[in-house]
Amino acid sequence: MESALFETIIATAEGARGALTLNRPDKLNPLSSLTLHEIELAARWFDEHHDLKVVVVSGAGRSFSAGADITAFSEAAPMEDRQLGWRMARALDEMRAVTVARIQGWCVGGGLVVASGCDLRVAADTARFSIPEVDLGIPLAWGGIPRLVRELGPALTKELVMTCRPFGAAEARAAGFLNRVVPEAELDGEVEALVQVLLAKAKLALLETKAHVNAVTESMVGTGRSWADADGLFAGLRDQEGRASALAYVERLRNR
Ligand code: COA
């Protein structure tokens, strides 16, 4: 087995299968600038492994990902970091191998962008989703809007992003965001069964299908158009009403 050296994620490849694991379980796998950059690098590293057919994307520990690292959330973030989220999502979209997200526990904000950048999604029935960006006074960035529109449709994307209401695996499945939902104890078995089905397919046909569907959806929702969504994020970080909303959000989080 080959592995690439990263600080916050683990990337491995062996024959036709690979794994990308977000690996800060004690903090619920937050997406810091470093993690975003590492996911982008890992996607390129996987592409160098020409035998790969399937890569399982998961989060270590009890949750998939709690989203953007809120300990590093400020307008003081270096300008060169502004496109990292968008580039991460694009790199996942463009990976040659088929990506299968394995989702348990919380999948929040940017975590949903990671999951929506994967081709297929399998979740535990106990998984919880939320998109709290607007409560944090910022619009959802990182190319999240076109990917959610692509996977959920525009009306539900607007509702979930604007209201920030959490939702469960059953609703995400009904909306078409999840391919399969199973009891938590069966999650690994279900992911493995799906991986085995994919591994048994001819590589060219499998990967061409992924690329073709992506080309079609790209012409439908155009993820490239959101390259400037970091501007809205930056503006939100400077907006007075947005800052007050973020303070209230963090206060609510503290007082749970
Ligand atoms: N960034 C950085 N650290 C985070 C984090 C994030 N987004 N989310 C959770 N953590 C850390 C917590 O601070 C805590 O660290 P500690 O044990 O050192 O105190 C640890 O992860 C566990 O989180 P905790 O809140 O105790 O877990 P929980 O199961 O009670 O709640 C959540 C889980 C996801 C509901 C809650 O952590 C949460 O709402 N986090 C913020 C999500 C968010 O706003 N993300 C940004 C999206 S833009």
Global pTM value: 0.97
Q: What is the CA(88)–ligand 1 centre distance, in A?
A: 21
Once rounded to an integer, what is the mean pLDDT over residues 18-36? 97
Hey, which of 8, 27, 28, 36 would you mutate to test ligand 1's pocket, going by the most ligand atoms within 8 Å of its Cβ? Answer: 28
Residue 8: CB partners within 8 Å, gap ≥ 6? 22, 23, 24, 32, 34, 35, 38
Residue 75 has pLDDT above 80, yes or no: no
pLDDT 10s digits, 87-143: 999 999 999 999 999 999 999 999 999 999 999 999 999 999 999 999 999 999 999
Residue with CA closest to ligand 1 atom 19: 27
Domains and CATH numbers, the chain: 2-186+197-203 (3.90.226.10)
Mean of all residue pLDDT scores within the chain: 95
Residue with CA closest to ligand 1 atom 39: 253
Strand pairing report for 120-124 and 98-103: parallel
Looking at residue 254, its pLDDT comes to 92
Q: What is the CA(143)–ligand 1 centre distance, in A?
A: 22
**In the structure, how many helices (H) and strands (E) does the chain have?**
10, 10
Residue 223: CB partners within 8 Å, gap ≥ 6? 89, 90, 93, 143, 146, 147, 150
Residue 76 has pLDDT above 80, yes or no: no
Once rounded to an integer, what is the mean pLDDT over residues 234-244? 93
Hey, which of 22, 24, 26, 27 would you mutate to test ligand 1's pocket, going by the most ligand atoms within 8 Å of its Cβ? Answer: 27
Q: Are 243 and 135 in contact (CB under 8 A)?
A: no
253 in contact with ligand 1, CB cutoff 6 A: yes
Residue with CA closest to ligand 1 atom 40: 66
Looking at residue 46, its pLDDT comes to 98
- Residue 46 CA neighbour count, 13 Å, CB half: 30
Q: What is the CA(170)–ligand 1 centre distance, in A?
A: 23
Q: What's the one-letter identity of residue 167? A: F
